Chain A
Amino acid sequence: MDRTLPLETLIIVPIYDEWPHVAEVLENLKSLFPSILVIEDGPSGDALKHFAKENNIEYISSLFNMGAWSAIQIGFRYAMRKGYPQVVTFDGDGQHLPEEVGKLLNELSLGYDIVIGSCLERGGFLRKTCRVALRKLSGVEIHDLTSGFRAYTRRAFEKFAQVDQANLDYQDLGVLLLARKWGLKCSEVHTRMGERLAGQSKVFPGIRFILRYLLTTLVSTATKWR
């Protein structure tokens, strides 16, 4: 049933508190891609589950809220079980556009392990400064470090599925540092992004959080250097 199309891509959509806005996003996605997996990060009623079932979308819910990255890791594990050769992580808040997934997959087919869909126009001054500072410090040659719109090959997501190896909170710089350590090739393509329909940025919800995030990332950058 699941192995009829071996070259299929699994779209992983981690969701936290985004019902019902996510419905539209998922419908748009489903019209373009056959395999979609929604991972609800923490229990929140049956509405999304029913919606997924009606629309033939795979649905997993996590027992506790453990962060977006942990939800994505569940998706990686699922993809490993089902034998998907590549996955795309896709935010359910309306920022990522289903039409742009193709761009990531094209770039991935050029021989990269991870492709980041970046949009440098978004975010305020603080966020842009923060991004530049992190890039300079880490020496990672990617401009949009916090974009959650990424494509992974099997070689990459199999490694990132291991919790003890990749125990992160967000899909951001930490992932890229690990990729460098493991010798995975990263690339970046420019993608258009839509307006956020619901919720807040997973990485940057407020100033206090930004500072904490910046410090945490600095420490992990320092410790994961080469």
Chain B
Amino acid sequence: MREEFAPTLPVDTHPPVARLNRFLSMAGITGAVLLLWLASGIGVPASLGRATDELQGLATIFLGIFIEALPFLLAGVLASAAIHVFVSAEHIRRLSPRSPVRAALLGTLLGLCFPVCECGAVPATRRLMSKGASPALGIAFLLAAPVVNPIVIASTWVAFSGRPEIVAARVGLTVVIAAIAALVVGRRATADALLMQSHHDHHDHHDHRHEGLGARVQALLSHAVAEFFEMGRYLVLGALIAAALQTVVPREALLAVGQGPVFAPIVMMALAFVLSICSTVDAFVALAFVNSFPTGALLAFLVFGPMVDIKSLLMYTATFQRPVVMRIVAVVAVLTLASAVAIDLVLG
């Protein structure tokens, strides 16, 4: 997946890597062509009809996730491009608190005025951090914004209309876990040490603030497009993996594995990870499990999914250094599991 960086690298320095990359891209293209051919059913022999049938099911699930998430990804890249074009780095640096604790707390609440879900939070976070927001603020925003925002709070409220404590616990746990994760990962680090070099950030250093409005809108749109292709790729791959896993491993098999105070939340977290549903709608999905799972496990689903799932994990790895991603995921997973187990033990 690295070949887009190839033009900036001297091609000859790593011939084995280049060869491996070329091999992987060829394998990927071959796989994609095969998938398209079989799923389209055009000229597929009857003996492969079953494969066509199953791949069409996979395509339907994939398109469900992709189409549902697309509007939110677009909102995210437009928000990110708007920050880039209209907000100066000094502005953000001035507003970003010095104290990591305060920065982390501010980050968890920033979603209230930037309503983005996980697909949008990643590009917006990267933009905030590369513009000088402190890492604690950036990571807290990244993890909390998909839940602590008006749209998601409203949809959770609608889904669990009879149980306001679920809404409160979801928001509360998200704020606490996001703040702790942000402090653990981002306390001392600088943004540069955490972020991957973005492909198009190399060219980002010129300031758009002194251009005319038309030029700035034009710049906004072309930055949004560049980021759309950069992030859209991970949405597509994540949705494909999630759809393939769902086709191969039925959800009921997963549910059959886990009951009990520790297993139930683990299963619900695994489910949230695999399903990769947008946080704006996952509360409705959680409803389907109200009677089969205890409250703590439901909350684990509602808190963990928006922070870590297949598609956001792919986006994280494109944005942050690998060890940073692993630390974020580990802290979030441990804290979510611990709080879910504690809740279910207390509620009995």
Tell me whether A and B are bound partners. no
Interface residues of A (CB under 8 A from B): none
